């Protein structure tokens, strides 16, 4: 994640990245293109692909924008080789330089390599200062670059196998990461010892694919093999798959928001389908916070599964009460408050004939600042809804995230300084309830998740400043 700040934030959380690696498959870049396209929801501000050709020469194309905007036929012909890594990123306005777009590519007399990451290194600032004091020159403001310098520092002894240098470098960093590191012969897929963000491996013909989400496998025709485990380094090359652990797994603290909001519903994360998780969370939400109403509607798209679950558990009909204009996107880039106000209305429309005169249960995945919830409640009332009862399929968001998710500062989070009754008044709902922390675990049949932005229990040490 880029470390700059100060840009307009919309009323949703933003993920930082998606990563992908393809090994041992002809025209790896073409497959990487389709795979990145499937991961586009994880970041829309920039993307890139690096390949290695049969002569060991690295090729890179990257740029600002969507996958379909950055790559064209001419650029794709440049990306020769059987091995590729790719990246999609979300960035804030202060960090928009192409130097921050991944994959990063490093040239070194011990061998070139490229890397891309999803996550955030929390001791990045301390490590970067130490490295700069010793003469390192950074090419970006991304925290991910620090790993490359650490690998090279560890590997100063050219006899040291690269995997040992990677292991030692990974042990120096603290935080959330899912790295793909590509040398001229292989890809190393590395996941932090807490398992914050997903990383899965699939079989693709005679080769392999590794991706942030399994939805990329479906589009490539790859077969899911397994997830990279917390603390594991998986090596993918012509020998097949090899596994090593750089550290003992600490916890299994998958980011709860991956299930709640970020991941695509057709992805499976650690054995749990995302749509099923959301549907189950809606059912549990009904049992925790029932409501006497006429219809259940969801906020498209990420809340529709939870709304279906709530409706199914309650016996109330599930209706399409809000329609999303699919051609309006990325409202957060609208430059003025007035334009952003309109942005929500342009994005969502109530279906008057469905909500008019009805007591409506409105299911949403989360409340960030509350401004969107207020607008939707007002919109439904203007469309004739008799009552609007809001049910949120996650707990109140109160604290910031240090692990690669652009959660707003605590002061911006409506639930940080307001209890549930106060939030209910602020969004002008007839009633409001959130899913419990226990309900969030139960929906995925999990004993552990990272819930730090809900309960302030950060799985790692936090390094401020």
Using the contact rule CB under 6 A, the part of the chain among 221-229, 337-345, 372-380, 445-453 near ligand SF4 is 445-453
Per-residue tokens: 405: 């998710």
- With a CB cutoff of 8 Å and minimum separation 6, the contacts of 207 are 22, 23, 24, 25, 28, 82, 236
| Site track 167-196 with ligand SF4 (rule: CB under 6 A), x = hit | -----------------------------x
Dist. CA 455–CA 399, nearest whole Å: 8
67 backbone dihedrals φ, ψ, rounded to 5°: -55, -40
Task: Indicate the SS3 state at residue 106.
Answer: strand
| Site track 244-283 with ligand SF4 (rule: CB under 6 A), x = hit | -----------xxx--------------------------
Residue tagged active-site, from 2, 17, 95, 401: 17
Task: Decide whether 13 or 429 has the Cβ nearer to ligand SF4.
Answer: 13
Residues touching ligand SF4, count (CB under 6 A)? 12
Cβ atoms of 304 and 298 within 8 Å: the answer is yes
Task: Decide whether 209 or 260 has the Cβ nearer to ligand SF4.
Answer: 260
User: Which of 401, 413, 424, 433 touches ligand SF4 by CB under 6 A?
Assistant: 401
Task: State the minimum distance, in angstroms, from the CB of residue 414 to ligand SF4.
Answer: 16
Is 450 an interacting residue with respect to ligand SF4 (CB under 6 A)?
yes
Task: State the minimum distance, in angstroms, from the CB of residue 176 to ligand SF4.
Answer: 6
Task: State the minimum distance, in angstroms, from the CB of residue 183 to ligand SF4.
Answer: 29
Adjacency order of strands within the sheet including 387-392: 295-298, 359-364, 387-392, 431-434
Task: Decide whether 255 or 393 has the Cβ nearer to ligand SF4.
Answer: 255
Is 403 an interacting residue with respect to ligand SF4 (CB under 6 A)?
yes
Is 452 an interacting residue with respect to ligand SF4 (CB under 6 A)?
yes
Alpha carbon 111 to its chain centroid, in Å, reads 31
Residue with tokens 């990306």: 79
Alpha carbon 51 to its chain centroid, in Å, reads 24
Task: Decide whether 385 or 407 has the Cβ nearer to ligand SF4.
Answer: 407
For residue 96, the 8-state DSSP code is: -
Q: Please give the helix or strand (H or E) that residue 414 lies within, else none.
A: helix 414-417
Using the contact rule CB under 6 A, the part of the chain among 53-61, 178-186, 291-299, 398-406 near ligand SF4 is 398-406
Dist. CA 104–CA 144, nearest whole Å: 9
Using the contact rule CB under 6 A, the part of the chain among 28-36, 103-111, 306-314, 402-410 near ligand SF4 is 402-410
Residue with tokens 């995997």: 163
User: Which of 19, 22, 432, 453 touches ligand SF4 by CB under 6 A?
Assistant: 453
- With a CB cutoff of 8 Å and minimum separation 6, the contacts of 168 are 150, 154
Question: Does residue 401 carry a catalytic annotation?
Answer: no
Task: State the minimum distance, in angstroms, from the CB of residue 404 to ligand SF4.
Answer: 7
| Site track 195-214 with ligand SF4 (rule: CB under 6 A), x = hit | -x------------------
Angle between helices 145-154 and 124-133 (to 10 degrees): 50
Task: Decide whether 67 or 306 has the Cβ nearer to ligand SF4.
Answer: 306
Least Cα distance to 358 among 275, 408, 430, 299 occurs for: 430
Task: Decide whether 406 or 430 has the Cβ nearer to ligand SF4.
Answer: 406
Task: Decide whether 215 or 260 has the Cβ nearer to ligand SF4.
Answer: 260
Task: State the minimum distance, in angstroms, from the CB of residue 87 to ligand SF4.
Answer: 19
- With a CB cutoff of 8 Å and minimum separation 6, the contacts of 301 are 324
Task: State the minimum distance, in angstroms, from the CB of residue 399 to ligand SF4.
Answer: 7
Is 124 an interacting residue with respect to ligand SF4 (CB under 6 A)?
no
CB-count exposure of residue 7 (10 Å: 0-12, 13-18, 19+): middle
Using the contact rule CB under 6 A, the part of the chain among 221-229, 286-294, 344-352, 401-409 near ligand SF4 is 401-409
Task: State the minimum distance, in angstroms, from the CB of residue 251 to ligand SF4.
Answer: 11
Task: Indicate the SS3 state at residue 141.
Answer: coil
Is 147 an interacting residue with respect to ligand SF4 (CB under 6 A)?
no
Dist. CA 376–CA 311, nearest whole Å: 19
Alpha carbon 448 to its chain centroid, in Å, reads 18
Dist. CA 311–CA 307, nearest whole Å: 6
What are the residues binding ligand SF4 (CB under 6 A)?
Answer: 196, 255-257, 401, 403, 405, 407, 450-453
> Which positions are catalytic?
17
């Amino acid at each position: 994640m880029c470390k700059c700040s100060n840009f307009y934030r919309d009323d949703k959380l933003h993920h930082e990245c998606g990563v992908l690696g393809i090994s041992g498959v002809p025209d790896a870049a073409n497959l990487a293109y389709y795979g990145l396209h499937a991961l586009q929801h994880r970041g829309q501000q920039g993307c890139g692909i690096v390949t290695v050709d049969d002569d060991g020469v690295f090729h890179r194309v990257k740029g600002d924008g969507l996958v379909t905007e950055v790559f064209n036929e001419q650029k794709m012909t440049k990306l020769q080789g059987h091995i590729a890594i790719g990246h999609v990123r979300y960035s804030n306005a202060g960090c928009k330089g192409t130097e921050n777009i991944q994959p990063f590519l490093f040239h070194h007399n011990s061998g070139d390599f490229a890397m891309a990451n999803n996550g955030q290194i929390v001791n990045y600032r301390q490590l970067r200062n130490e490295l700069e004091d010793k003469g390192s020159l950074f090419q970006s403001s991304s925290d991910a670059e620090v790993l490359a310098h650490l690998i090279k520092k560890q590997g100063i002894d050219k006899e040291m196998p690269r995997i040992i240098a990677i292991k030692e470098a990974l042990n120096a960093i603290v935080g959330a990461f899912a790295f793909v590191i590509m040398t001229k012969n292989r890809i190393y897929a590395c996941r932090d010892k807490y398992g914050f963000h997903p990383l899965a491996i699939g079989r693709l013909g005679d080769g392999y694919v590794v991706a942030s989400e399994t939805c990329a496998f479906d589009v490539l025709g790859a077969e899911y093999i397994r997830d990279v485990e917390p603390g594991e380094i998986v090596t993918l090359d012509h020998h097949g798959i090899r596994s090593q652990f750089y550290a003992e797994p600490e916890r299994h603290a998958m980011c709860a928001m991956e299930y709640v909001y970020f991941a695509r519903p057709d992805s499976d994360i650690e054995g749990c389908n995302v749509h099923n998780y959301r549907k189950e969370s809606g059912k549990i939400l009904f049992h925790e916070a029932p409501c006497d109403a006429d219809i259940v509607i969801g906020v498209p798209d990420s809340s529709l599964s939870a709304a279906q679950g709530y409706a199914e558990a309650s016996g109330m009909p599930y209706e399409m009460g809000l329609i999303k204009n699919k051609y309006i996107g990325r409202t957060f880039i609208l430059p003025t408050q007035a334009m952003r106000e309109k942005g929500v209305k342009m994005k969502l429309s109530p279906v008057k004939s469905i909500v008019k005169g009805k007591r409506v249960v409105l299911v949403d995945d989360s409340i960030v600042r509350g401004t969107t919830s207020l607008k939707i409640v007002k919109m439904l009332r203007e469309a004739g809804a008799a009552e609007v009862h809001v049910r949120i399929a996650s707990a109140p968001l109160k604290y910031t995230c240090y692990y690669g998710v652009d959660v707003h500062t605590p002061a911006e989070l409506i639930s940080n300084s307001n209890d549930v009754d106060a939030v209910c008044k602020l969004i002008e709902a007839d009633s409001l309830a959130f899913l419990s922390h226990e309900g969030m675990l139960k929906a995925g049949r999990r004993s552990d998740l990272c819930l730090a932005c809900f309960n302030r229990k950060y799985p790692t040490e936090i390094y401020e400043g």
